[in-house]
Structure 1
Amino acid sequence: MTQNFDRRRHPVRPDLAASDYEGLADAGRFVEGEVFQVKADRLAMRPEPRQDRPIDTEALRGEWLTVYEQTPEGWAWGQLDTDGYVGWFSSDGLGPVTAATHRVRALRTYRYPAPDLKSVPLGLLSLGSKVTVTGEAETRGLAYALLSDGSAVVARHLVPLEDREEDWVRVAEELLGTPYLWGGRSSLGLDCSALVQLAAQTGGHDLPRDSDMQEAEAGEEIPHDDPAALERGDLLFWKGHVGIVAGPGKLLHANGHTMTVAFEPLEQAIERIAATEWGAITKARRLSAPEST
C-alpha cells in the first residue's frame, strides 16, 4: 500500500496504527485505542515525543483523546476527538472520561477548590474547555458551578454545550490583544487558525485545526477578487495563513506581524502580506448557517 496519510489527521505510523486502518495502511501492528479525558488546563501536542519540538496544537481541559500508545518515559500518542488532530502529549495530562455538560464561554476562568473566589485557584481554564457540572452554590452573592472533580468555577463563565453564538466573530474580537503563539489554541496564546476554530466553534461551526485544512473544507468557496463584496465572518486565506473579515475593509487575525490578535485594514494587509513569503490571497470561504440542534 502506497497511500500517504497526513500524520496530523491519521493515527498511522510505520510501526503502529489504529485498528481502523488495518487493510488500509502498512504498519507493524494495529491497536484499539483507549479513550481518556484531558485533565490538564492545556495539553501540548507535538509531532514527536520530545520537549524541544515546537507544538502542533493544544488540547483543552475536558476534551477527549483516543490513546494508541503510552511510553515508559511518560509520553502518549493519540488523536483528539474535537478535530481529529494526532500527536504526542504527556500522559500526566490525562484522566478518566466523564460526560461534559458545559463549556467555558469566558475567555478564561479560574477553577477553585471550593465555591469561593478567595480560595487558592487550582487552575485556569480557557475558552472552549469542557466541564461536567453536578451542582451549584452561592458564596457572598456570587453563583458557582460545582464540577464533577469537586472543584468550582464562576457559573456565568459557562454555557451549555449546545449554546450557539449568533455572531461568532464577536467572540474572535474579544480575543483582541491575545499573544500570538505558534500551535497555541487557548485564550492565553493562539495562532491564526486556532482563532478561527475557537471562535467559529461558539457559533456551531466545527472546523479543522490548521489553515490548509480550513482552506480546503470550511464552508463554501466564494470569489475573493473584490474585497468590497466580502461579508463579516468570511475567511481569507494565504499560503499558511487565515484571517477573518470583521467588517468592510477590516481584517481580524492572529499574526506574526503584530504578534497578537489584531485588526488590520484589509487592503493594507493584502499589500503587506503579498510582499512576504505568503504572497497573494489564495482563497476565500464563507461559513454556512450551522444546523439547528
Structure 2
Amino acid sequence: MKKTIALIFALFSTLLAQESSKPDLKKVIDAVSKKYAPDKRIEIFEVEFYDKDGNLILKGETTQKEAKDELLSQLKSTFNIIDSIVVLPSPELGDKIYGVISVSVANMRAKPAHQAELVNQILMGSNVKILKKHGYWYLVQTEPPENYIGWIEEGGLAIFNKAELEKWKNLKKVIFIDYFGFVYSQKDKNSIPVSDLSMGNVLGLEEKESDGKWVKVILPDKRTGYVDKNAVVELNRWRNAVNLNASNIINTAKKFVGFPYLWGGTSVRGFDCSGFTKIVFKMNGFELPRDADQQSKLGIEINPGENFENLKPGDLLFFGQKAEDGKPEKITHVGIYIGNKEFIHCSGKVSIDSFDPKAPNFNEYRYKTFIRAKRLIEK
C-alpha cells in the first residue's frame, strides 16, 4: 500500500514538474503581440488557445506572418500544436485584396456595423489593402504612413486584383481642390449627379473628352462623368506645385474656421482634432498619421519657452494628461501654432484660441493641458 502511494506521489510530482516547465501560454502570446502589434490601430495579432485531445489549438488572425512564425517557434518544442492562425489578407479573398475608395468620403468603423464607432474617414481615390470580409463589410488597412485598420461598407470600395489596381494607378489623375462639389452625368450642373466630391478626392482623367469648362473623369468603380475644370488640378502638377511651409499651412488651416467637429472625421464633412491637422497638411503635400498621439511622434521637439517665444507658426501643439503621480502621459488633442501665442484647432468647431490670459480668445483649459510642441517644417 505504501509503495502504491509512493508511486502515485512520484508520478504526480513528475507530471507537476512537467506542467510547471511549460511556458505560460498567455504570457508568451502577450509578449509576441507586444513585440509585433503594440498598436492595435495599425496591426492585428489576436490569438486564443485551448486544449483538445492533448493537442494545443491556436486560433486567431494576424497581419504579421513573422509574429505567427515566432509564436509557433517558441511553442512547438513543448506542445503538439494544431495551427489555425490565419495570416491576413484572408485566403478567402483570393487575389482581390486591393481596394480603392470610390465614394467622396468612406466612413471607417471600429466594427462591421453602422452603429459602431467612427474611427476614420478615407477620401475617394485612396488605396487600401483588403484584409477580410464580413457580410457586406470589408476590413481594410490604409496606406503608409497612416496604416489604419477598420471596417468599410462594400458600396464605398472598388475591389481589384493586382493587375486591375495597376491599370487604375496608371491612369492620369486629377485632385479636387474645392470644398465640395459634384461629378455630373452631363456637362450641365442641372444634370443628375454621378457622385458628390470633397476636397482631396482623386479621380481618373479622360483627356479626350475634356474642354474649356469641363473635364471628363473616371471614378475607381468605373463610373464616369463631368467636373468643373476650375475645381480640379492635374495630380502630378499639383504635387510639384505644393510648397510645405508655415504660411501655406496656416492659410489652409484658416480656410476651415467654423467647420464642425466630428469624432473620427478627417474630411471637410467634419474633423476631429487630428483629422483637422491631417487634412491641412495633406492639402500641402504631407501625409500625417491618423491620431494625435501618433502625430506627436514626428518632428523635432521644441522648448516653447516661458511665454511661448520659441514657437514658430506651423508647429504642432499637443495637449492632454501630463505624466505625474504615477500616471503615464496621454496625448488627447493637437492644434497648429499660428504666432502671437495663438493656435488653430478643432474642438467643437475649428477656431483660433490663445495662450495669452489677457486675450479675449484665451483658452484656459488648453493652456493648462499643453504638453509639448513639435516642429515638422522649418520654412
Contact 2:216 2:224 in 1 (8 A): no
Pairing 1:16–2:61 present: yes
Equivalent residue runs for 1:58-69 within 5 Å: 58-69=121-132
Aligned mates of 2:70, 2:291 — CA distance in 1: 24
Aligned mates of 2:254, 2:183 — CA distance in 1: 24
**Aligned-pair distance for 1:180?**
0.5
Pairing 1:243–2:306 present: no
The amino acid across from 2:355 in the alignment is: L
Change (3 A) 1:25 1:206: farther
Pairing 1:142–2:205 present: no
Structure 1 counterpart of 2:86: 29
Structure 1 counterpart of 2:104: 41
Match of 1:56 among 111, 116, 119: 119
Task: Tell which deviates more after alignment, 192-201 or 164-173.
Answer: 164-173
The amino acid across from 1:227 in the alignment is: F
Structure 2 counterpart of 1:123: 195
Contact 1:251 1:269 in 2 (8 A): no
Pairing 1:222–2:268 present: no
Structure 2 counterpart of 1:281: 370
Q: Secondary structure in 2 aligned to 1:79?
A: strand
Change (3 A) 1:13 1:40: farther
**How far does the alpha carbon of each residue in 1:178-234 deviate from its partner, in whole angstroms, 9 at most, with x for none?**
1110001110111111111111122222210100000112x2211123423321111
The amino acid across from 1:88 in the alignment is: W
Aligned mates of 2:308, 2:70 — CA distance in 1: 43
**Aligned-pair distance for 1:25?**
6.7
Rg larger in 1 or in 2? 2
Contact 1:145 1:154 in 2 (8 A): no
* Structure 2 alignment gaps of length 5 or more: 1-28, 48-59, 73-83, 91-96, 160-164, 321-331
Aligned mates of 1:254, 1:174 — CA distance in 2: 13
Q: Secondary structure in 1 aligned to 2:370?
A: coil
Aligned mates of 1:12, 1:59 — CA distance in 2: 24
Please state which structure has a larger fraction of its residues in helix: 2
RMSD: 2.4
Change (3 A) 1:144 1:47: same
**Aligned-pair distance for 1:76?**
0.9
Contact 2:89 2:132 in 1 (8 A): no
Aligned mates of 1:153, 1:206 — CA distance in 2: 26
Structure 2 counterpart of 1:189: 270
Structure 2 counterpart of 1:254: 346
Change (3 A) 1:12 1:108: farther
Structure 1 counterpart of 2:136: 74
TM-score normalized by structure 2? 0.67
The amino acid across from 1:187 in the alignment is: V
Q: Secondary structure in 1 aligned to 2:122?
A: strand
TM-score normalized by structure 1? 0.86
How many percent identity over aligned positions?
23
**Aligned-pair distance for 1:24?**
5.5
Contact 2:250 2:314 in 1 (8 A): yes
Aligned mates of 1:230, 1:117 — CA distance in 2: 46
Structure 2 counterpart of 1:203: 284
Change (3 A) 1:145 1:215: same
**Aligned-pair distance for 1:57?**
0.5
